[in-house]
Structure 1
Amino acid sequence: MKRGTLNSVMVAMAATVTLASAAHAGGLERGGHNIDQLFDTSRFTTDATAAYVSPQRKLKNAVDTNATNGLGSNGIGGGTTTANDTEAYWVPRIGFKAAVGNAIDCLGDYSQPYGAHSAPGANWVGANSNIETKITSDSFAATCSYKVDAGKGQFRVIGGVSHLEVSGFKTRLVAPIPGAGVGRLDLSGSGIGWRAGVAYEVPDIALRASLMYYSEVQLDNITGTLDLTQLTAGLGGNPLAGRATPVFGATAMPDSLELKLQSGVAPGWLVFGSVKWVDWSQLQTIAFCPTSTRALGCRFGAANQATSLDLLYRDGWTVTGGVAHKFNDMLSGSAAITWDRGTSTGIGTQTDTWTFGAGAAYTPNENVQIRFGGALGVLTSGSSGTVTNSQGTFGNEVSYSFGNDLVAAISLGAKIKF
């Protein structure tokens, strides 16, 4: 096997196990951003990876702290004080890389960088806070680099653009007794982002250092519907009760900065690591207002606000370190540990996560590579309840706690080079 092929196998192996380890990161992050395929030494490559993630967050000791906006301790037909909060999900990614001459490489890829799915159901005492919330995303990106010789290696300048589409919904119990019903908020929006960075490589020793910045993506025209048709029309003086109302709003998906390092340390051995910061703290409260009041704008606390999504996130940090090893010409393996700082600030379940991942790569020839990976992690314990800040009081519908829960992930990937 060629030395360059060995390097690419071990680098790809490191990327696969990192995906499995970090797929359940804080905020709304799932697959995040990844341009590792851009560095492949082959002229053309097609790469596809999918990770299946199963978080097991369980809520307990729930108390309905605001019985006036729901059914009190009765929930909807149950009123349990426990609930299974999280749902399993897939994280896909597919990319095509092409070299243009000896200096330019370009990568086009599809991924789902953001998402969330919380579904405690309608029968717990926190139904007036959340029955089900789901967010999905689709990202289409193009990234190119220009490289020049520098010392023993090569220096790259990297840049690109992306188109992001985000959609989702939330259902919860709304309105005071009598006349309570389930309300649903459906939303979608899109925006354009950019990325830029630099990298330095010494292929002979599989050394690479890269620093990438991914811009925020402005979602300036989020549109959707607030469906309150289950409520009695005009209930409690609410003009939106009893009908479905088109709504609008705006926010931005956060910018991020990521440093990645890797190097061969002995024949057949590679160490790697990364540090990533994500500006999740810009997602605090997102207001939505009736489309008929668009001329007034829409901001949190305004008189025309119909509803809001209250996240109250803080910045996210993710740190990963690991090692990869070539066992023979066809089989390589890697292992990694990842720490992700939780983004919750008193409401929600986004606490620190520790994950341990391992994987293997099977390379029957220089043109085909198949990768397997898995991870097992701990979602650390915490609690959620009332939080008061400069914008107001949040999380006063329900309080609950949660213990140390498990998250498991598996991943499968394949690459074809030609």
Structure 2
Amino acid sequence: MKHLLSSGAALLLTAGAAGAVGLDRSNQDITVLFEDGNYAELSFGRIVPDVTGSDLSPPFPGYDYDDVGEDYSQFGAAVKMDIGTQMSFAVIFDQPFGADVLYGGSPAATALGGTEARLDSGAITALGRFRINDAFSVHAGVVRERLDAEITLSGLAYGTPFDPTAPAPTLNGYNVQLEESDAWGYVVGAAYERPDIALRLAVTYHSSMEHEFETTETLGGVPVNVLNPALSATSTTTVNTPEAINIDFQTGIAQDTLLFANVRYAKYEDVIVSPVFFDTAQDGGLRDMDSLTEIESNTSYSVGVGRRFSDAFSASVAVGYEGEGSDDLVSPLSPTNGNYSLQLGAAYTVGDIVLSGGVRYTWLGDAMPETGTPDEARAEFTDNDALSAGLTVGFRF
């Protein structure tokens, strides 16, 4: 029973990151490190959000936005090997963070038409585990992470269409490109196990990482140094990714039946994206740095039951939950607020090969994208959801 969900539990995360905390996509899962023996896996997930909403009317025309959340894919790979009886080592590739948001509509006739956010990431984690005894172990490692992003602010919520001759140009038509940046971080944790009842409690801390992006800002396609000669054509934007804590738990509750759970806390309140021109346009750069992102720290929960029906076949079901923020006002770049989810997974073993697949349906919380100071609701998003599916191929060697 110990390996009932060796791939299945991780699959449920791979198969449905839509609606996870903040910009999370992979959950930074490291549980492959607890596989017995030598093991490798490849995973693929496809996420299809259905995120729609409407401008508030008044003050805006009431335009309907379709497919604001774009479909995306997730890839992952991992190799774990034993080194003697007490040491093991793993290398994991994942895509920890991401965003794919695009609002349709004219920037001159809708509140948010043309607003767009794209964030791509990739990370390689190398970590080792030392078994102190049969019950306790510690694990730690290093992470090399790559990020790049592009954000466009567009629509009447950001002011009238951009006019370079205006004495105080609005941000309607603002674009920033954050070129690819690499950064180092670390992972550290510990685990308690009772193999006789398939119990494991693992706690893992993921450090924040400081990225320095070469930044190009434009307004209506005009470089910001043309609009403000005091600025350079390019600048550097420093962004810290969120530190996070993962708690992974499992225990046998009956013959061939396993209860499992995951809790993840990510500190997104420290993620500030404040390019020079954007910050200056808000208040002359006189107050604390203004951020393109306004994401609250939050916690996600998942709990489920898995059962082995034969030596070859097992299945699982789980529910997930992420709480809403302090209010319904959110950044237009992330127009949802909390979520519930239902997940189904199955695994089939053929010799040394483990094939596992799963689906997740996520109910996304209602939200009201806002702009301005003080915050003012510009649109309303209700009754949205996401469908995710994933496949993992594992191999023991």
| Structure 1 residues 206 and 11: CA distance shift in structure 2, 3 A | farther
- Is residue 312–residue 344 contact of structure 1 (8 Å, CA) maintained in 2? no
RMSD: 3.1
Question: Is 1:131 aligned to residue 118 of structure 2?
Answer: no
Residue aligning to 1:10: 5
| Structure 1 residues 106 and 344: CA distance shift in structure 2, 3 A | farther
Report the 3-state secondary structure (helix = DSSP H, G, I; strand = E; otherwise coil) of the residue aligned with 1:259.
Answer: strand
- Is residue 225–residue 232 contact of structure 2 (8 Å, CA) maintained in 1? no
Residue aligning to 1:289: 276
- Is residue 112–residue 137 contact of structure 1 (8 Å, CA) maintained in 2? yes
Q: Give the superposition deviation at 1:10.
A: 2.2
**Residue correspondence of structure 1 range 9-408 to structure 2 within 5 A:** 9-42=4-37, 44-62=38-56, 80-123=63-106, 125-126=109-110, 131-149=115-133, 153-173=134-154, 176=160, 179=163, 182-188=173-179, 189-219=181-211, 221-228=212-219, 230-231=221-222, 238-239=227-228, 245-283=233-271, 285-289=272-276, 301=283, 303=285, 309-343=291-325, 346-348=329-331, 349-365=335-351, 367-386=352-371, 393=373, 395-396=375-376, 399-408=378-387
Partner deviation per Cα, 1:277-298 (whole Å, 9 max, x = no partner): 1111112x422127xxxxxx99
- Is residue 26–residue 350 contact of structure 1 (8 Å, CA) maintained in 2? no
Which is worse superposed, 343-352 or 28-37?
Answer: 343-352
Residue aligning to 1:69: none
Q: Which runs of 5+ in 2 are unaligned?
A: 165-171
| Structure 1 residues 266 and 299: CA distance shift in structure 2, 3 A | farther
| Structure 1 residues 303 and 202: CA distance shift in structure 2, 3 A | closer
- Is residue 337–residue 354 contact of structure 1 (8 Å, CA) maintained in 2? yes
- Is residue 147–residue 155 contact of structure 1 (8 Å, CA) maintained in 2? yes
Report the 3-state secondary structure (helix = DSSP H, G, I; strand = E; otherwise coil) of the residue aligned with 1:14.
Answer: helix
In 2, Cα distance between the equivalents of 1:337 and 1:239?
52
In 1, Cα distance between the equivalents of 2:241 and 2:140?
19
In 1, Cα distance between the equivalents of 2:216 and 2:75?
28
In 2, Cα distance between the equivalents of 1:202 and 1:168?
44
Which is worse superposed, 176-185 or 14-23?
Answer: 176-185
In 1, Cα distance between the equivalents of 2:256 and 2:229?
65
In 2, Cα distance between the equivalents of 1:51 and 1:177?
39
- Is residue 269–residue 295 contact of structure 2 (8 Å, CA) maintained in 1? yes
Partner deviation per Cα, 1:148-189 (whole Å, 9 max, x = no partner): 22xxx3311111110111111012347755747844211033
Residue aligning to 2:167: none
Letter in 1 for 2:346: A
In 2, Cα distance between the equivalents of 1:177 and 1:49?
44
Which is worse superposed, 14-23 or 351-360?
Answer: 14-23
Q: Give the superposition deviation at 1:395.
A: 5.0
In 1, Cα distance between the equivalents of 2:28 and 2:253?
27
Q: Which runs of 5+ in 1 are unaligned?
A: 1-5, 66-71, 74-78, 291-296, 388-392
Q: Give the superposition deviation at 1:299.
A: 12
TM-score (norm 2): 0.86
In 2, Cα distance between the equivalents of 1:175 and 1:351?
25
Letter in 2 for 1:45: Y
Residue aligning to 2:169: none
In 2, Cα distance between the equivalents of 1:206 and 1:24?
30
> Percent of aligned pairs with the same residue?
20
Residue aligning to 1:411: 390
In 1, Cα distance between the equivalents of 2:269 and 2:225?
36
TM-score (norm 1): 0.82
Number of paired residues? 379
In 2, Cα distance between the equivalents of 1:145 and 1:301?
49
In 2, Cα distance between the equivalents of 1:248 and 1:341?
34
Letter in 2 for 1:405: N
- Is residue 344–residue 350 contact of structure 1 (8 Å, CA) maintained in 2? no
In 1, Cα distance between the equivalents of 2:100 and 2:291?
14
Letter in 1 for 2:76: R
